[in-house]
Amino acid sequence: MQDNFYHIGLPPAEKDQVNWPLIRNIIQKNQGKDQVGSKEIKFSYGIFKEFLAIRAGMPHFRLSTSDQILEKVQFHNTGEKQQKGLIVMSITGENENVLVIFNFSNKSQFFSFKNSNNYHLHPVQITGIDKVVKQSFASSHGFTVPGLTTAVFVTD
């Protein structure tokens, strides 16, 4: 886990040769800012394993039919009052509920949600390697999630 070979080669000519000048230009303009090292690769690997552990430990993330998905999954940040940069998804279960907030903005965001005080950050994220996600929390009025973070909340 030393390198991801991001800047090695270009996409196959049959498909993307027309885009090669654009790709070269983007890589050159980035001046290596988008290059990652061993530390970032290991961190990404660790986060990925944590998401797999969350999925494996919760049947909510293993719904197998479209009927189950339609019945149990709901999206909350929709409509005219939608907050930019947030996807808020809940999944109802037999004994507990899950709420996942994807914050794609650069800043921390608050999302108002009824009965949010019944939720807490998933134990895997509480004990995990991501220090930023640990700043996510539920209060009596909603959830706060740092920028560029995916937080998984579960009911007590």
What is the model's pLDDT at position 8? 76
142: helix, coil or strand? Answer: strand
What's the average model confidence in pLDDT over 22-31?
A: 87
What's the average model confidence in pLDDT over 70-84?
A: 97
What's the CA gap between 4 and 38, in Å, rounded? 9
Q: In what order do the strands lie in the sheet with 137-138?
A: 109-112, 142-145, 137-138
Say whether pLDDT at 27 is over 80.
yes
- Domain ranges in the chain are 64-155
134: helix, coil or strand? Answer: helix
- Class of the 64-155 domain? mainly beta
Are the beta carbons of 119 and 36 closer than 8 angstroms? Answer: no
